[in-house]
Amino acid sequence: MTATATPVVLPSDWRDFFALTKPRVMSLVIFTGLCGLLAAPEGINPVIGFTAILCIALGAGGAATLNQWWESDLDAGMKRTAQRPLPAGRLAHGDALTFGIILSVGSVIVMGLAVHWLAASILAISILYYAVIYTIWLKPRTPQNIVIGGGAGAFPPMIGWVAVTGEITAMPILLFAIIFMWTPPHFWALALFVQSDYAKVGIPMMPVVKGEASTRRQILIYAVLLLPFVIAPWWIGGTGAIYGIVALVLTLAFIALSVPVATRRAVEGDSMKPEKRLFGFSILYLFALFAALVVDRFVSPLWNL
Ligand code: HEM
Ligand SMILES: CC(C)=CCC/C(C)=C/CC/C(C)=C/COP(=O)(O)OP(=O)(O)O
């Protein structure tokens, strides 16, 4: 008689549920949402504003939970993700699914009731975008997965802005476009130094399918294409010069760091320093760019900039 292996689930605590929300990644998602909210004209009642950001955080955490519930087999096969609560057996799948659904549905309902139904609808779209369109549909099928899927992470500043104004205008669309164009260099820089992991579990990430040279070229192309999008808010008069100058300097630095990544080939045992530097800078870049947007909103009018 052969024994059937029953998965062992170790006792879980709140830390495992917290880890399911991908808190480090989502910190930037929440920050860009907060900046969208603060940069919007008119301003918002602080309690309603806080509720809106809480809903973005809970919704993003819910979507990240559903992503890991769906992908626990893949995560088990990659060194970077094998210690996550589900593949490590610290959490039952059913509990993760329930947690993900409660956060996702709850955040949308609270956003709708307490803040605005248009903001709630965009939040619902972004959760479905990340959990279904990106995770279930695009990620296992096409190397364009993160180009199209990048839309999921681009919604938060638009949600923050719309929570205040109740309408979708040029500025929130541009904030969406900025993160959309930023995502490919952000992720492909990382994929270049963890690509063996993705190949192992059959995920068609760009470096695995199209090769390193093509990925490196595309990183630079997206970094350059990002420039008109980051300048556009200043150009259309949606921000002052503080944002414009910071955006220009930051993006030129982003392009400058993409050049060595685009023009080199990794050799056996390579430390992948330029790729790691670009990935690290991509995160700092978005934090600084969105911080500049908020500083500009409050300081530029004082100086008539
Ligand atoms: C489809 C689009 C994206 C993909 C595939 C992606 C993928 C990744 C991956 C695999 C990591 C490594 C960290 C980990 O293992 O959890 C990472 C890190 C990170 N990502 Fe992204 N990302 C995307 C979009 C975004 C967006 C839109 C944001 C925020 C606006 C973001 C913010 C971050 C941050 C802050 C980190 C660093 C986390 C840390 O310090 O560990 N990412 N990303
Ligand atoms: C409000 C809302 C719903 C926001 C969505 C936020 C968002 C940033 C989505 C995409 C970013 C992300 C964590 C990608 C990780 O890719 P992966 O899941 O393929 O990475 P992995 O290989 O680490 O699992």
pLDDT at residue 11 above 80?
no
Q: Is the beta carbon of 133 within 6 A of some atom in ligand 1?
A: no
* Fold classification of 13-167 (topology level): Tetracycline Repressor; domain 2 (1.10.357)
pLDDT in the model for residue 194: 83
- Among the bound ligands, name the one nearest to the CA of residue 124: 2
Q: Is the beta carbon of 20 within 6 A of some atom in ligand 1?
A: no
- Among the bound ligands, name the one nearest to the CA of residue 32: 1
pLDDT one-digit tens code per residue, 189-199: 999 988 778 88
pLDDT at residue 113 above 60?
yes
Measured by CA distance, the residue closest to atom 5 of ligand 2 is 153
pLDDT at residue 82 above 70?
yes
Share the mean pLDDT of the chain. Answer: 93
Q: Is the beta carbon of 195 within 6 A of some atom in ligand 2?
A: no
Q: Is the beta carbon of 283 within 6 A of some atom in ligand 1?
A: yes
Residue 19: name the closest of 52, 64, 72 by CA: 64
pTM for the model: 0.94
How far does residue 236's CA lie from ligand 1's centre (Å)? 30
How far does residue 207's CA lie from ligand 2's centre (Å)? 19
Q: Is the beta carbon of 181 within 6 A of some atom in ligand 1?
A: no
pLDDT in the model for residue 5: 54
Rounded-to-integer distance, Cα 2 and Cα 210, Å: 44
pLDDT one-digit tens code per residue, 132-187: 999 999 999 999 998 998 899 999 999 999 999 999 999 999 999 999 999 999 99
Ligand 1: which of 21, 186, 283, 290 to mutate, most ligand atoms within 8 Å of CB? 186
Query: How sure is the predictor about 1, in pLDDT bands with cuts at 50, 70 and 90?
Result: very low
pLDDT in the model for residue 270: 86
Ligand 2: which of 24, 30, 67 to mutate, most ligand atoms within 8 Å of CB? 67
- Closest-lying ligand 2 atom to the alpha carbon of residue 149: 10
How far does residue 79's CA lie from ligand 1's centre (Å)? 16
ipTM: 0.94
Across the range 214-226, mean pLDDT stands at 97
How far does residue 24's CA lie from ligand 1's centre (Å)? 8
Query: How sure is the predictor about 61, in pLDDT bands with cuts at 50, 70 and 90?
Result: very high
pLDDT in the model for residue 241: 94
Tokens at 74, concatenated:
């893949």
Q: Is the beta carbon of 146 within 6 A of some atom in ligand 1?
A: yes
Rounded-to-integer distance, Cα 67 and Cα 75, Å: 10
Tokens at 145, concatenated:
């997965």
191 or 107, greater pLDDT:
107
How far does residue 141's CA lie from ligand 2's centre (Å)? 16
